[in-house]
């Protein structure tokens, strides 16, 4: 059915992609094939599967029916050439970099990207001769200036974590391709419901499915979706050999969450559209970054590139770090925790939490101020969230 789903809307796709009726039992909900290995009908069939001459499953690290359903579902919404599910978002990033980069290659990345994504490039991949520079990719001139003759990959996160800055995917793709580089986009903050980078010229998209795709704060998972069969074939063997594979039960939970992606994303987004103006108008708030506000530096780009501004908001309380800490300690309904994209509202302090491993100077250069607070608006009633902010700001 997946080949016909693209004629339907994104909500319909999210509900039906990967959701085949089980042939053996007629079950509507997909079965969990919790098997590490798969039997062959004959020695020849096993040899043919290992040689790639016959379809079929061999070993769950290399492929599994339950996992395949999830890969099909996400790839359908991203309009890609197939999906590769991983055990985490970091597993997805490391797999792509291992597959596409060689010693002596150079990568340009978004300066305010998720902290561990930047740290693994600067601290670990650099040990194997992979160079990287991180710049403000919302500034196209900065992207052009950062590209070198050996630049092989441009890695952008948009909206970025945690500054909520936006990068023009189509323009960056044009710049990168002019220099022979590929473009990887972390689409975690938007989800394929609100943004589809491959349609804008990106070569590979990745997700931390821990966030919006699963959406219930109970699974850690990642996904890679290449734009072409050629790129899929380059990444697939590395995906298997690195072993950052997904567990079938983990895949089943994420696939179940994926069916409600549209409802969850839009409810949280509707709430954020109410919370962001409240924060912007509050006398104790220094600034707010939310793509749905006209004050956002890339508001016009958000309207052009995305199908909605999403539900992530960054802001700073007047009084900086100490005032922000008091706010976080006073919230009652919102949960003080890292991560995002769940049905519950999560609030955190990036410079001391998710981005603490980055050097202070790099954080400041990337726009991650000491007083920045990031909130992932959930699916509660918006009035209750605003009331929680009101009482917490009163104390801060």
What CATH number is associated with residue 169?
3.40.640.10
In this prediction, residue 6 has a pLDDT band, given cuts at 50, 70 and 90, of confident
What is residue 365's predicted lDDT score, i.e. its pLDDT? 80
Query: Residue 166 corresponds to which tokens in the numbers above?
Result: 């936006």
Query: Residue 31 corresponds to which tokens in the numbers above?
Result: 């079965």
**Residue range 224-239: mean pLDDT, rounded:** 98
Torsion sign, CA atoms 380, 384, 389, 391: negative
- φ, ψ (nearest 5 deg) of residue 188: -60, -45
Is there a single domain that holds both residue 80 and residue 225?
Answer: yes
In this prediction, residue 230 has a pLDDT band, given cuts at 50, 70 and 90, of very high
Number of domains the chain is built from: 2
59 is catalytic: no
233 is catalytic: no
Rounded distance, CA 257 to CA 388, Å?
27
**Residue range 122-138: mean pLDDT, rounded:** 96
260 alpha-carbon distance from chain centroid: 17
CA distances 380 to 62, 240, 261, 345, Å, are: 39, 39, 16, 8
213 and 223 Cβ atoms separated by less than 8 Å: yes
Rounded distance, CA 199 to CA 202, Å?
7
What is residue 3's predicted lDDT score, i.e. its pLDDT? 61
Which of 118, 211, 236, 273 is the catalytic position?
Answer: 211
In this prediction, residue 2 has a pLDDT band, given cuts at 50, 70 and 90, of low
Is there a single domain that holds both residue 391 and residue 242?
Answer: no
Stated length of the chain: 396
Would the pLDDT of 309 be above 90?
yes
Is there a single domain that holds both residue 61 and residue 143?
Answer: yes
Proportion of the chain above pLDDT 70, given as a percent: 99
- The residues facing 376 across adjacent strands are 312, 346
**Residue range 39-62: mean pLDDT, rounded:** 95
Expressed as residue numbers, the domain containing 86 is 2-258
Give the orientation angle of helix 248-258 with respect to helix 65-78, to 10 degrees: 40
Helix (H) or strand (E) holding 153: strand 151-157
Over residues 169-221, the pLDDT tens digits come to: 999 999 999 999 999 999 999 999 999 999 999 999 999 999 999 999 999 99
Query: Residue 16 corresponds to which tokens in the numbers above?
Result: 């039906």
Would the pLDDT of 244 be above 80?
yes
Is there a single domain that holds both residue 278 and residue 229?
Answer: no
Query: Residue 244 corresponds to which tokens in the numbers above?
Result: 């950052």
What is residue 86's predicted lDDT score, i.e. its pLDDT? 98
Tokens 């002019």 found at: 178
75 and 82 Cβ atoms separated by less than 8 Å: yes
Is there a single domain that holds both residue 170 and residue 116?
Answer: yes
Is there a single domain that holds both residue 43 and residue 86?
Answer: yes
Is there a single domain that holds both residue 347 and residue 248?
Answer: no
What's the whole-model pTM score? 0.94
Would the pLDDT of 1 be above 70?
no
124 is catalytic: no
Rounded distance, CA 239 to CA 242, Å?
6
141 is catalytic: no
Residue ending a domain, among 197, 227, 258, is 258
Would the pLDDT of 387 be above 90?
yes
Is there a single domain that holds both residue 79 and residue 42?
Answer: yes
Which of 10, 57, 105, 114 is the catalytic position?
Answer: 114
Which of 105, 168, 186, 307 is the catalytic position?
Answer: 186
Is there a single domain that holds both residue 241 and residue 273?
Answer: no
Is there a single domain that holds both residue 293 and residue 327?
Answer: yes
Is there a single domain that holds both residue 146 and residue 182?
Answer: yes
Residue ending a domain, among 223, 239, 258, is 258
In this prediction, residue 323 has a pLDDT band, given cuts at 50, 70 and 90, of confident
Query: Residue 260 corresponds to which tokens in the numbers above?
Result: 């409600």
Give the orientation angle of helix 320-330 with respect to helix 382-395, to 10 degrees: 130
Rounded distance, CA 113 to CA 366, Å?
9
Helix (H) or strand (E) holding 151: strand 151-157
CA atoms within 13 A on the CB side of 116: 11
In this prediction, residue 232 has a pLDDT band, given cuts at 50, 70 and 90, of very high
**Residue range 120-141: mean pLDDT, rounded:** 97
Residue ending a domain, among 230, 258, 286, is 258
CATH number of the domain within which 281 lies: 3.90.1150.10
Mean pLDDT of the chain: 94
Is there a single domain that holds both residue 155 and residue 216?
Answer: yes
Query: Residue 89 corresponds to which tokens in the numbers above?
Result: 């978002």
What is residue 336's predicted lDDT score, i.e. its pLDDT? 95
Which of 8, 48, 59, 61 is the catalytic position?
Answer: 61
């Amino acid at each position: 059915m997946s080949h016909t789903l693209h004629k339907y809307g994104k909500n319909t796709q999210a509900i039906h992609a990967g959701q085949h009726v089980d042939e053996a039992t007629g079950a509507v909900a997909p079965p969990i094939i919790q098997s590490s290995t798969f039997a062959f009908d004959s020695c020849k069939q096993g040899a043919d599967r290992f040689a790639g001459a016959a379809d079929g499953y061999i070993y769950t690290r290399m492929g599994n029916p339950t996992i395949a359903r999830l890969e099909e579902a996400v790839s359908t919404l991203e309009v890609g050439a197939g999906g590769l599910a991983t055990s985490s978002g970091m597993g997805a990033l490391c797999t792509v970099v291992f597959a596409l980069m060689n010693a002596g290659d150079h990568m340009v990345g978004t300066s305010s990207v998720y902290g561990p994504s930047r740290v693994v490039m600067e601290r670990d991949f650099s040990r194997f001769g992979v160079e990287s520079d991180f710049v403000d990719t919302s500034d196209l001139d900065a992207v052009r200036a950062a590209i070198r003759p050996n630049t092989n990959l441009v890695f952008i996160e948009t909206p970025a974590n945690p500054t909520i800055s936006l990068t023009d995917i189509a323009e960056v793709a044009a710049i990168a391709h002019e220099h022979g580089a590929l473009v990887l986009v972390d689409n975690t903050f938007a989800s394929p419901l609100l943004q589809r980078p491959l349609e804008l010229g990106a070569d590979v998209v990745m997700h931390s499915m821990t966030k919006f795709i699963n959406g219930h704060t109970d699974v850690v998972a990642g996904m890679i979706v290449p734009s072409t069969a050629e790129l899929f074939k380059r990444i697939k063997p590395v995906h298997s050999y690195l072993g950052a594979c997904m567990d079938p039960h983990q895949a089943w939970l994420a696939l179940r969450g994926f069916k409600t992606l549209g409802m969850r994303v839009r409810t949280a987004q509707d709430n954020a559209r109410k919370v962001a103006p409240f924060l912007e108008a509050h006398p104790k708030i220094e600034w707010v970054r939310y793509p749905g506000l006209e004050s956002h530096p890339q508001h016009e780009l958000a309207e052009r590139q995305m199908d909605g501004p999403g539900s992530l908001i960054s802001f700073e309380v007047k009084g900086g770090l100490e005032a922000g800490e008091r706010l976080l300690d006073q919230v009652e309904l919102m949960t003080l925790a890292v991560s995002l994209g769940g049905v519950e509202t999560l609030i955190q302090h990036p410079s001391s939490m998710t981005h603490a491993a980055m050097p202070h100077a790099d954080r400041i250069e990337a726009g991650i101020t000491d007083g920045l607070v990031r909130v992932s608006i959930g699916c509660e009633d918006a009035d209750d969230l605003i009331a929680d902010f009101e009482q917490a700001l009163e104390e801060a």
